[in-house]
């Protein structure tokens, strides 16, 4: 953070963005320029997308109000009146259907972004519900703009697990005017400025809209009807969609939907380091708005209140993960100076106990390095940075910046502990011959709390290839390093493993193989595993719907029965499973 930015932050009155008419009156506002509606309660934090958008617009001089989790049974959405320029609608930090239902479609009782924790505030398909709510109470209103992960991942024809069918791009279902996709920090600035100046926002990069005519110079995707008629056409559509997500190399996309067209402009530019620092340095309260507090605490604050987000993006490209499509496959980092400034600010907070919950990002050990070729030409169209059996030679894994950053954070007076709780790519650590061992040693000695979480997801080579995950050998190498370092440090710290059952291509025999590996190689019994959930924006969901390998177009086994999905999960977590299986086999032999 520059000295001027730091002084501005210290001198500026710290306040929430208004969420009530009373707050608007106190500010002397007759009308907001923009009103943001979210499926989360209003938490003012750099980890909450709507709060970040609000602060970005505030810095540009816009009057911004936020309505978190409006009551859909009454006129709650009217509490701030109608905005002058536009409504911004988000389903929240988590896809509302994933937030509300498990992988076997059971309702979730808890919501970490709802005061009191009870899941009774976020409607199913929140983006659609809120848009309809606005249209019901404000006839012929100003434009409605969709954003957030729920909308971003549904900007083209997409598979909907909850209804088991392909749905149209969300702009058609929501009857909204525009959609800003991805992280969209640059797009939201340019879009809002264009509206304020009376210009056409359809020229802004990172924006989607509906058109009566195609944009001929854009890449023409298979139509919605073609996707309905032919599953291979749907794979073609997703291939083009996935490959055109980089600001440097992407083309605009055009898809026919009935008699109209879904238009996706090329992605907006990523923030550079200076801009990353600026967005992280806005005057966030890092708390729940007082409007919501009588309803109880929000659980997510336990994690995010004193956490530091070091970067955006991930180039790991796990096939079941949508981070690459939503955040991008290029790492954008904050400066060490800016991150250390944030750590020092924590120590001035009356609630800070000396513990930073997390120093990381989507993948913590991607901080501070990138492929120079990608930075100049964009992501490669045909080659992944990391795949099942290889790490691209051009991508030089280097943990040194994150290593030195962690050491500097520990030196901040008032910081007792700084954990790295974000996901780690364990396979990158043995791959980094210069700093990998030293980096892991630093984590073991100073930055984990009794256990480290890693995500091998599976151990069957066939399933791992479909997942886009590394093979077993890097995990074995990593575990040896981890165990040796703990022994040297005199610590009894453990590894816990994220595992997935019922991923496309996974059969019961693969779960037996996984169970044997965890028992004999890892010397442990997994206590948890998750059933795969198909969500928009991932190749794994394409596999689930089409029952084909998108690369070879060959048929693959896909488990779709909920009881058998649970059985796959239970194979790997059930402590008595093998005893029962042995007894059953003995009975059959007799």
Residues of each annotated binding site: 314, 318, 321
Query: DSSP letter at 169?
Result: -
Q: Name the one residue in this structure whose structure tokens are 């969901």.
A: 541
Looking at residue 148, its pLDDT comes to: 97
Question: Between the CA of residue 518 and those of 458, 495, 577, what are the distances in Å?
Answer: 10, 12, 13
Residues of each annotated binding site for [4Fe-4S] cluster: 314, 318, 321
d(CA 171, CA 137): 19
Q: What is the pTM of this model?
A: 0.93
User: Three-state DSSP class for 312?
Assistant: strand
Question: Between the CA of residue 189 and those of 15, 57, 222, 507, what are the distances in Å?
Answer: 21, 7, 31, 48
Q: Residue 418, Cβ neighbours under 10 Å: how many?
A: 25
Looking at residue 2, its pLDDT comes to: 44
One pLDDT digit (tens) per residue for the chain, 590 residues: 344 444 444 445 679 999 999 999 999 999 999 999 999 999 999 999 999 999 999 999 999 999 999 999 999 999 999 999 999 999 999 999 999 999 999 999 999 999 999 999 999 999 999 999 999 999 999 999 999 999 999 999 999 999 999 999 999 999 999 999 999 999 999 999 999 999 999 999 999 999 999 999 999 999 999 999 999 999 999 999 999 999 999 999 999 999 999 999 999 999 999 999 999 999 999 999 999 999 999 999 999 999 999 999 999 999 999 999 999 999 999 999 999 999 999 999 999 999 999 999 999 999 999 999 999 999 998 889 988 778 888 899 999 999 999 999 999 999 999 999 988 999 999 999 999 999 999 999 999 988 899 999 999 999 999 999 999 999 999 999 999 999 999 999 999 999 999 999 999 999 999 999 999 899 888 888 999 999 999 999 999 999 999 999 999 999 999 999 999 999 999 877 556 655 665 555 54
**H helix runs in 153-253, sequence order:** 170-174, 185-196, 224-229, 231-243
Looking at residue 13, its pLDDT comes to: 65
Is residue 157 within 8 Å of residue 166, measured between CB atoms? yes
Q: Name the one residue in this structure whose structure tokens are 């600035």.
A: 189
Please give the backbone phi and psi of residue 350, each rounded to the nearest 5 degrees, phi first.
-65, -25
The CA-based diameter of the chain, rounded to the nearest angstrom, is 85
Parse the chain into domains and list their residue ranges.
3-264, 306-449, 481-590
Please give the backbone phi and psi of residue 179, each rounded to the nearest 5 degrees, phi first.
-135, 130
Among 206, 44, 35, 29, residue whose Cα is nearest residue 130: 35
Is residue 268 within 8 Å of residue 190, measured between CB atoms? yes
**Structural tokens at position 333:** 């980092």
Q: In what order do the strands lie in the sheet with 34-38?
A: 64-68, 34-38, 86-90, 144-147, 178-180, 207-211, 260-264, 253-257, 219-220
3-state secondary structure 394-421: CCCCCCHHHHHHHHHHHCCCCCCEECCC
Looking at residue 581, its pLDDT comes to: 55
Looking at residue 4, its pLDDT comes to: 45
Cα three-residue angle 548-425-393, rounded to 5 degrees: 80
**H helix runs in 443-561, sequence order:** 461-467, 472-489, 508-520, 539-546
d(CA 530, CA 578): 20
User: Three-state DSSP class for 266?
Assistant: coil
Looking at residue 574, its pLDDT comes to: 83
Is residue 318 within 8 Å of residue 468, measured between CB atoms? yes
Question: Between the CA of residue 329 and those of 244, 269, 303, 332, what are the distances in Å?
Answer: 11, 13, 25, 10
Report which secondary-structure segment, H or E, holds 390: strand 390-391
DSSP output for 172-190? HHHT-SEEE-SS-HHHHHH
CATH of domain 481-590: 3.30.750
How many residues are given for the chain?
Answer: 590
CATH of domain 306-449: 3.30.750.210
**Structural tokens at position 327:** 């955040």
The reply to whether 306-449 and 481-590 are identical in fold is yes
d(CA 30, CA 38): 22
d(CA 541, CA 160): 9
Looking at residue 588, its pLDDT comes to: 52
d(CA 145, CA 534): 26
Query: DSSP letter at 536?
Result: T
């Amino acid at each position: 953070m520059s000295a001027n930015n730091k002084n501005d932050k210290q001198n500026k009155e710290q306040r929430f963005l208004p969420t009530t008419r009373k707050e608007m009156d106190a500010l002397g506002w007759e009308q907001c320029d923009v009103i943001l509606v979210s499926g989360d309660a209003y938490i003012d934090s750099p980890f909450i997308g709507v709060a970040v958008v609000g602060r970005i617009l505030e810095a540009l001089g816009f009057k911004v109000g936020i309505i978190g989790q409006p009551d859909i049974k009454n006129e709650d959405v009217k509490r701030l009146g109608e905005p002058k320029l536009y409504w911004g609608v988000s389903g929240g930090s988590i896809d509302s259907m994933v937030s509300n239902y498990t992988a076997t479609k059971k309702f979730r009782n808890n919501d970490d972004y709802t005061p009191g924790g009870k899941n009774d505030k976020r409607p199913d398909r929140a983006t659609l519900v809120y848009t309809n709510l606005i249209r019901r109470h404000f006839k012929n209103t100003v434009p409605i703009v969709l954003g957030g992960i729920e909308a971003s991942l549904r900007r083209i024809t997409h598979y909907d697990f909850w209804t088991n069918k392909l749905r149209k791009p969300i702009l058609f279902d929501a009857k909204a005017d525009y959609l800003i996709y991805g992280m969209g920090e640059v797009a939201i600035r340019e879009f809002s400025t264009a509206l304020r100046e009376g210009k056409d926002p359809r020229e802004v990069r990172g924006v989607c809209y509906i058109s009566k005519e195609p944009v001929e110079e854009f890449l023409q995707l298979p139509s919605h009807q073609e996707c309905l008629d032919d599953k291979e056409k749907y794979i073609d559509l997703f291939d083009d969609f996935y490959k055109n997500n980089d600001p440097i190399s992407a083309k605009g996309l055009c898809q026919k939907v009935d008699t109209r067209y879904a238009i996706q402009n090329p992605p907006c530019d990523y923030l550079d380091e200076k801009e990353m620092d600026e967005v992280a340095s806005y005057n966030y309260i890092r708390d729940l708005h007082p409007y919501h507090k009588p309803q109880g605490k929000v659980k997510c604050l336990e994690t995010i209140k004193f956490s530091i987000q070091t970067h955006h993006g991930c180039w790991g490209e796990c096939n079941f993960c949508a981070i690459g499509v939503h955040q991008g496959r290029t790492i954008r980092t904050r400066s060490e100076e800016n991150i250390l400034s944030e750590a020092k600010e924590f120590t001035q907070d009356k609630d800070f106990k000396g513990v930073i919950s997390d120093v990381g990002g989507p993948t913590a050990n991607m901080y501070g390095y990138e492929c120079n070729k990608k930075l100049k030409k964009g992501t490669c169209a045909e080659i992944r940075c990391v795949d099942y059996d290889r790490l691209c030679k051009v991508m030089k894994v280097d943990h040194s910046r994150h290593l030195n950053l962690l050491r500097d954070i520990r030196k901040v007076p008032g910081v007792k502990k700084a954990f790295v709780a974000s996901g780690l790519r364990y396979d990158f650590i043995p791959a980094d011959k210069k700093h990998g061992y030293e980096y892991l040693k630093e984590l073991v000695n100073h930055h984990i709390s009794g256990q480290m979480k890693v995500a091998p997801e599976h151990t069957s080579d066939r399933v791992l290839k479909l997942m886009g995950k590394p093979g077993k050998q890097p995990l074995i190498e990593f575990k040896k390093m981890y165990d040796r370092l703990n022994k040297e440090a005199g610590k009894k710290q453990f590894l816990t493993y994220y595992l997935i059952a019922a991923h496309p291509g996974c059969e019961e025999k693969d779960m037996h193989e996984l169970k044997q590996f965890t028992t004999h190689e890892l010397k442990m019994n997994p206590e948890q595993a998750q059933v795969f959930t198909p969500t928009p924006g991932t190749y794994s969901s394409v596999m689930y719907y089409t029952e084909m390998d998108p690369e070879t177009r060959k048929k693959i086994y896909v488990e779709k029965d909920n009881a058998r999905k649970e059985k796959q999960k239970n194979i790997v977590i059930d402590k008595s499973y093998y005893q029962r299986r042995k007894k059953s086999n003995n009975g059959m032999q007799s």
